[in-house]
């Protein structure tokens, strides 16, 4: 997309899955990309891959549930590239938070909200402040939610609650900052071939037959009849950050192959 050429984009959770696919998409559109992730090895590998494809990219290790890391990340982005035009807040982690409601611990609750909701708020806090003070001001933000955030999910209530919170936070910020030139939208992905989905499938059972049965259940629930590729979700995030979406804010863009079409 020509409107992204030369723009500065920050992608959290940018070392794998949808985040990596989005970072690659932004770079191919001519944007200058800062990617952040907790894993240094995968982050550097993503940086190398994008550069090999001709992209302008820098990697910064960061845990976006930690305020100091987020502040350092945004400051580093501006120091490297001069401003911040768009951000894709995509980092998430559902591990260690599963269980039925009455059996969950306070530590699991705190972990789920820190990694999947507080992290988004922290990123938005510092991204918006930068977008308001730069010249010219303004920008676009996309936050990754999940179809799990559209309703109840037995055994994954904490992750669902955090992702529902992302939707409310996104819509609130969209209304607060629209008049000041900042658009804020949410990407709501369904089942995509990512490391997170692979963990879910592995947790379905100890043998390959159980894993295949779990994958079949996902596939059968999707009207398009297949699990999506990360690049298909990433394309929606890239579009939302581009000028092609200049009149779009406060949107929860569901990209799920029709999985939730009967209940929304």
Domain boundaries along the sequence of the chain: 2-255
Given this model, what pLDDT does residue 204 score?
73
Given this model, what pLDDT does residue 160 score?
97
Given this model, what pLDDT does residue 201 score?
74
Q: Is 159 a catalytic residue?
A: yes
Query: In angstroms, rounded to a whole number, what is the distance separating the alpha carbons of residues 230 and 238?
Result: 12
Determine which helix (DSSP H) or strand (DSSP E) holds 22, and give its type and residue range.
helix 17-28
| Burial of 33: CB neighbours in 10 Å, binned 0-12, 13-18, 19+ | buried
How many residues are present in the chain? Answer: 264
- From 159, 177, 218, 239, the catalytic residue: 159
Given this model, what pLDDT does residue 227 score?
94
Given this model, what pLDDT does residue 195 score?
81
Given this model, what pLDDT does residue 23 score?
98
φ and ψ of 225, to 5 deg: 80, 20
Task: Decide if 202 contacts 107 (C-beta within 8 A).
Answer: no
Given this model, what pLDDT does residue 200 score?
76
Q: How far, in Å, are 48, 77, 146, 204 from residue 54 at the CA level?
A: 10, 19, 31, 40
Query: In angstroms, rounded to a whole number, what is the distance separating the alpha carbons of residues 148 and 93?
Result: 13
**CA 174 from chain center: how many Å?**
17
Mean pLDDT by 10 residues, the chain (264 residues): 93 97 98 97 97 97 98 98 98 91 97 97 98 98 97 94 98 98 98 84 76 86 95 98 98 97 89
Given this model, what pLDDT does residue 75 score?
98
Given this model, what pLDDT does residue 198 score?
80
Domain 2-255 has CATH 3.30.750.24: no
Dihedral of the CA atoms 230, 227, 112, 174 (nearest 10)?
60
């Amino acid at each position: 997309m020509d409107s992204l050429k030369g723009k500065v984009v920050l992608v959290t959770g940018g070392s794998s899955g949808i985040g990596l696919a989005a970072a690659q998409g932004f770079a191919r559109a001519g944007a200058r990309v800062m990617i952040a992730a907790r894993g240094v090895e995968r982050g550097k590998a993503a940086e190398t891959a994008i550069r090999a494809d001709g992209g302008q990219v820098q990697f910064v290790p960061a845990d976006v549930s930690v305020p100091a890391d987020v502040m350092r990340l945004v400051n580093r982005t501006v120091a490297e590239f001069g401003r911040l035009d768009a951000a894709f807040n995509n980092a998430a982690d559902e591990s260690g938070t599963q269980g039925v409601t009455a059996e969950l611990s306070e530590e699991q609750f705190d972990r789920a909200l820190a990694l999947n909701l507080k992290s988004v708020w922290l990123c938005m806090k510092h991204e918006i402040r930068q977008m308001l003070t730069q010249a010219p001001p303004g920008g676009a933000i996309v936050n990754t939610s999940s179809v799990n955030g559209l309703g109840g999910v037995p055994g994954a209530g904490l992750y669902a609650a955090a992702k529902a919170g992302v939707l409310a936070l996104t819509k609130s910020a969209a209304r607060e900052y629209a008049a000041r030139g900042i658009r804020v939208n949410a990407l709501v992905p369904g089942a995509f071939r990512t490391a997170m989905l692979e963990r879910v499938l592995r947790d379905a059972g100890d043998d390959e037959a159980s894993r295949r049965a779990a994958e079949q259940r996902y596939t059968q629930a999707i009207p398009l009849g297949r699990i999506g590729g990360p690049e298909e979700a990433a394309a929606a995030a890239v579009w939302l950050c581009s000028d092609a979406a200049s009149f779009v804010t406060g949107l929860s863009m569901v990209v799920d192959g029709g999985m939730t079409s009967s209940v929304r």
